[in-house]
Amino acid sequence: MATPQLIIVLRSVRHELQSFSLGLQNCIMKIIAQIPAPILFGIIIDNQCLFWSESTYHRRGSCFIYNGNRLPFTLFGTAIIIKLISLTLIIILFSITLKRNKIQNISFSTEEQENLLNK
């Protein structure tokens, strides 16, 4: 997990739920991202094949020639789209957290801060 995502999760969850939220986030990331991502990129790479070999029993074998013009753009474009979706969700979570903190009014006056520091 990247450091900005970790900080956002830790700051948007109550202290007693932080370890639970990190574990839940890890499980969700495995289910949503790390399991289907290799399958998705494998399908994208297979779709860029121009010539397939033929294996035994007349089944499709491995790819001999890939479309070298489109393959890098397709892979890069897919990665960028996934990153943009992730960034959008992080921004939404951050804005929800800011609104929640403003509603709860989690700011202290300078006197309260000095009293807390002097204790």
Residue 108 is encoded by which pair of tokens? 């202290």
User: Quick check: is 21 in a domain?
Assistant: no
Residue 109 has pLDDT above 60, yes or no: no
At 84-104, the pLDDT tens digits run: 998 898 889 888 878 877 776
3-state secondary structure (DSSP) of residue 63: strand
Query: What's the domain range around 65?
Result: 47-106
Q: Which of 95, 101, 76, 89 is nearest to 28 (CA)?
A: 89
User: Quick check: is 69 in a domain?
Assistant: yes
User: Quick check: is 115 in a domain?
Assistant: no
Angle (CA) 13 115 16, round 5°: 20
User: Quick check: is 25 in a domain?
Assistant: no
User: Quick check: is 24 in a domain?
Assistant: no
> What is the predicted pLDDT for the residue at 117?
61
What domain count does the chain have?
1
User: Quick check: is 90 in a domain?
Assistant: yes
User: Quick check: is 86 in a domain?
Assistant: yes
> What is the predicted pLDDT for the residue at 1?
58
User: Quick check: is 78 in a domain?
Assistant: yes
Instruction: For the full predicted model, state whether its pTM sits above 0.85.
Output: no
> What is the predicted pLDDT for the residue at 46?
92
